[in-house]
């Protein structure tokens, strides 16, 4: 019997929120997420474990050098737990002499919670929280990444969206 898939982006949301694939997969998925948001020269530290100098990756965007910190626990954690992880990752900004921190997490964060985290830093901060990641993975350009890391195949509606997006890009390059 075929597995029934949640609709309205919920399948992606649940699989991210109940992450079971470990740190290496989380860091590799995070690299793809950053790539889809125009970060460049993404250089992972040690996804399979090892001393990483308080950075899971280093990258560049808008002529700024960033470190990325990934936090993908299973299930929703308290804001205090998320904040503690964020502060630990934030220490990597000075240690690695970069301009800012990208905090990539499968956690739900309200607007107020995101603002609190950002206000803890004098550096640039970009937060990729659960809903933002769901939005990126449910876009046509990331269907393959979603399939690889979350085992979610595209449905008919997504196939149509993918072809429409591809056709739009084709029209732009042939004009």
Residue 106 within a domain: yes
DSSP β-bridge partners for residue 40: 60
Angstrom distance (rounded) from CA 104 to CA 26: 9
Residue 1 within a domain: no
| 103: phi then psi, degrees, rounded to nearest 5 | -105, 115
Angstrom distance (rounded) from CA 81 to CA 44: 24
Q: Which domain holds residue 54?
A: 10-174
In this prediction, residue 48 carries a pLDDT of: 67
Q: How many domains does the chain have?
A: 1
Residue 39's CATH number = 3.40.1350.10
Residue 167 within a domain: yes
Q: Which regions in the chain score pLDDT beneath 70? A: 1-3, 5-7, 46-51, 155-156, 158-159
Residue 58 within a domain: yes
Residue 5 within a domain: no
Picking from 151, 123, 126, the residue whose alpha carbon sits closest to that of residue 137 is 151
- Rounded to two decimals, the pTM is 0.87
Q: For 9-42, what is each residue's pLDDT tens digit?
A: 799 999 999 999 999 999 999 999 999 999 999 9
**Residue 2 CB partners (closer than 8 Å, separation 6+):** none
Answer yes or no: are the C-beta atoms of 146 and 152 closer than 8 Å: yes
130-136 long-range contacts (CB < 8 A, ≥24 apart) are 130/13, 130/16, 130/17, 130/105, 130/106, 131/13, 133/16, 133/33, 133/104, 133/106, 134/9, 134/12, 134/13, 134/16, 135/9, 136/33, 136/36, 136/37
| DSSP labels, 52-93 | -SS-SEEEEETTEEEEEEEE--BS---HHHHHHHHHHHHHHH
Residue 63 within a domain: yes
């Amino acid at each position: 019997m075929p597995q029934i898939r949640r609709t309205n982006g919920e399948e992606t949301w649940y699989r991210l929120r109940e992450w079971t694939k470990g740190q290496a997969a989380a860091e590799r998925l995070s690299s793809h997420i950053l790539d889809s948001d125009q970060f460049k020269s993404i250089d992972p530290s040690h996804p399979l474990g090892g001393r990483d100098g308080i950075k899971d990756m280093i990258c560049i965007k808008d002529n700024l050098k960033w470190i990325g910190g990934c936090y993908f626990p299973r299930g929703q954690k308290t804001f205090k737990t998320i904040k503690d992880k964020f502060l630990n990752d934030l220490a990597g900004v000075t240690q690695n002499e970069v301009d800012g921190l990208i905090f990539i997490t499968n956690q739900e964060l309200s607007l107020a919670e995101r603002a609190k985290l950002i206000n803890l830093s004098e550096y640039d901060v970009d937060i990729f929280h659960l809903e933002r990641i769901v939005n990126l993975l449910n876009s046509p350009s990331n269907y393959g990444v979603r399939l690889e890391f979350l085992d979610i195949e595209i449905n008919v509606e997504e196939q149509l969206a993918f072809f429409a997006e591809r056709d739009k890009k084709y029209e732009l390059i042939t004009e």
